């Protein structure tokens, strides 16, 4: 009896350890801290005791223990932790049922066999299979997240689906335990689990496809409107330049009259009080965006033109430098537009708060990457960047502060994109580096 008790404890402890490993795999978390290991050891021992008392119902205690560990050490997003933990449990359940059916149909061993060695083999094989499945899912999920960023925005829905699915699974399992588990019930449960999971995934991806199409349509409409605005402004600038050229000819003619009459005193007065003032037109912001033509990526040109023109209209000193032609960027256009939009909106808000200062944007490339630098004046008491990027933190009041944290999440899904941020000498600088596709 004591040996059976020990075996049961060991199996329960192995389940906790492997489930937590699977949890970290799905969360793409590789960091391991001593306090985390120590906490896992304590939770593992507790679960061994609880499982020996509650049996299969001890899975509920294990679920909440792993949730607490995940919330404390990996993510403060409770819905995410619950959702990912639910998928860990779902994978564990499917793995256990698969191993049971394989043992029955290949080796002729009944799942209900009460031999301690059989039960131990059952648990170990199912746990190993769950790690393999989890690793494959985590790798594929990361790939899909990079290819279709809209999936990352639907993460809360994915987590809710996982939680609901897990509840349905365990209602079915507990019902099976109540009826008395046998191979037929296990097989029926597995078929039900797989069909339900497949239906959920198909429904979800249909929803994602619809959402992506809607998002793409909205993005194209936004780009069209921004392009129209850009063309209108460029046309107005061209008219202003033509007007200036016409005025410039008239100014030269007026100067000629002073010179012919040798009225040098009048010429001096006319130059300093009239002409020199008009020369400031050359330096006005209306003539500082000609470099936008070097950007041949439509989406980037649209967002930069729209935001920079908006800043000029607000009276913000704005400069753009693009010395080389930029024809291609190895990044999803929607992700890049979102990132630049957040950076530029934050710059506008900071400069409006200051009531002065300037914004400078530079785009250049080298053999390995394209670099986009956005720099703006900022207040002297601006918090450190690691505080600014925390979700929910904002200088604008409660209910704000999602922008920079969203940027961090987007960049984490992009292998070839890096962000360097610095705050120095009253300037806030963001440097986005996009490596060429050959280096991805």
Is the pTM here over 0.85, yes or no? no
Give the model's confidence band at 434: pLDDT under 50 very low, under 70 low, under 90 confident, else very high.
Answer: very high
pLDDT, average across residues 294-307 = 81
Query: What are the b/e assignments for 403-432, b being 16+ CB within 10 Å?
Result: bbbbbebbbebbebbebebeeeeeebbbeb
3-state helix, strand, coil in the chain (%, to 5): 70, 10, 20
Higher pLDDT, 162 or 186: 162
The H or E element that residue 209 is part of is helix 183-260
Across 70-79, 231-240, 292-301, 312-321, least confident range: 231-240
Which residues are CB-contacts of 354 (< 8 A; sequence separation ≥ 6)?
377, 378, 379
Alpha helices in 34-149 (DSSP H): 34-54, 58-73, 78-102, 116-147
User: What token pair was written down for 148?
Assistant: 């279709």
| Close Cβ partners of 295 (under 8 Å, ≥ 6 residues apart) | 301, 304, 322, 326, 363
Query: In sequence order, which ranges of 148-182 are alpha helices (DSSP H)?
Result: 150-153, 155-179
393 pLDDT exceeds 50?
A: no
Of 428 and 315, the structure prediction assigns the larger pLDDT to: 428
As a whole number of angstroms, the distance between CA 300 and CA 341 comes to 10
Residue 16 has pLDDT above 80, yes or no: yes
Q: Across residues 257-279, what is the average pLDDT? A: 71
Task: Give the C-alpha separation, 121 to 99, whole Å.
Answer: 10
Residue pair 126/102 in contact (Cβ under 8 Å)? The answer is no
Q: Which two tokens stand for residue 355?
A: 């009531």
Distance CA 51, CA 57 (A): 7
Q: How far apart are CA 56 and CA 60, in angstroms?
A: 9
Confidence label for 379 from pLDDT (cuts 50, 70 and 90): confident
Which domains can be identified in the chain, with CATH numbers? 2-212 (no CATH), 288-439 (3.30.565.10)
pLDDT of 77 over the 70 cut: yes
> What confidence category does residue 433 fall into, taking pLDDT thresholds of 50, 70 and 90?
very high
Question: 347: which 2 tokens?
Answer: 């710059």
Mean pLDDT of 404-431: 82
**What pLDDT is recorded for position 190?**
67
- How confident is the model at residue 306, as a pLDDT? 77
H or E element that contains 267: helix 264-270
Over residues 254-264, the mean pLDDT reads: 75
Q: Which residue has the tokens 């918090």?
A: 383
Question: Which residues face 420 on adjacent strands?
Answer: 431
* 164, 165, 169, 170: CA torsion to nearest 10: -30
> Which is it for strands 358-365 and 317-321: parallel, antiparallel or unpaired?
parallel
Mean pLDDT of 210-219: 72
């Amino acid at each position: 009896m004591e040996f059976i008790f020990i075996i049961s404890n060991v199996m329960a402890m192995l389940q906790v350890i492997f489930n937590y490993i699977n949890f970290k795999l799905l969360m793409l978390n590789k960091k391991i801290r001593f306090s985390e290991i120590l906490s896992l050891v304590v939770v593992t021992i507790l679960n061994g005791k609880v499982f020996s008392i509650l049996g299969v119902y001890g899975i509920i205690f294990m679920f909440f223990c792993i949730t607490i560990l995940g919330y404390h050490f990996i993510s403060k997003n409770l819905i995410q932790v619950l959702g990912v933990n639910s998928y860990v449990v779902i994978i564990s359940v499917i793995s256990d049922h698969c191993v049971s059916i394989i043992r029955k149909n290949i080796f002729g061993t009944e799942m209900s066999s009460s031999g301690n060695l059989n039960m131990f083999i059952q648990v170990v094989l199912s746990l190993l299979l769950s790690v393999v499945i989890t690793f494959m899912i985590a790798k594929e999920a990361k790939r899909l997240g990079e290819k279709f960023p809209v999936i990352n925005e639907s993460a809360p829905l994915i987590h809710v689906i996982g939680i609901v699915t897990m509840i349905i699974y365990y209602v079915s399992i507990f019902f099976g335990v109540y009826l008395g588990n046998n191979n037929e019930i296990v097989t029926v449960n597995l078929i039900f689990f797989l069909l339900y999971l497949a239906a959920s995934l198909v429904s979800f991806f249909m929803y994602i496809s619809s959402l992506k199409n809607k998002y793409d349509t909205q993005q194209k409409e936004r780009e069209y409107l921004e392009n129209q605005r850009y063309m209108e402004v460029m046309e107005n600038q061209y008219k202003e330049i033509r007007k200036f050229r016409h005025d410039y000819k008239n100014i030269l003619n007026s100067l000629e009259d002073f010179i012919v009459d040798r009225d040098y005193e009048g010429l001096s007065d006319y130059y300093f009080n009239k002409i020199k003032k008009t020369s400031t037109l050359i330096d006005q912001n209306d003539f500082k965006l000609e470099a936008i033509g070097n950007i041949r990526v439509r989406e980037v040109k649209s967002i930069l033109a729209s935001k920079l023109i908006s800043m000029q209209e607000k009276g913000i000193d704005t400069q753009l430098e693009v010395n080389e032609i930029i024809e291609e960027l190895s990044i999803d256009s929607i992700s890049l537009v979102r990132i630049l939009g957040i950076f530029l909106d934050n710059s506008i808000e900071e400069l409006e708060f200051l009531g002065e200062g300037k914004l400078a944007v530079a785009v250049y490339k080298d053999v390995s990457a394209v670099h986009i630098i956005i720099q703006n004046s900022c207040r002297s008491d601006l918090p450190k960047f690691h505080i600014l990027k925390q979700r929910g933190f904002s200088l604008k009041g409660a209910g704000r502060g999602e922008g920079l944290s969203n940027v961090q999440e987007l960049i984490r899904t992009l292998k070839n994109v890096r962000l360097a941020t610095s705050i120095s000498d009253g300037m806030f600088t963001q440097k986005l580096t996009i490596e060429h596709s050959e280096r991805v």
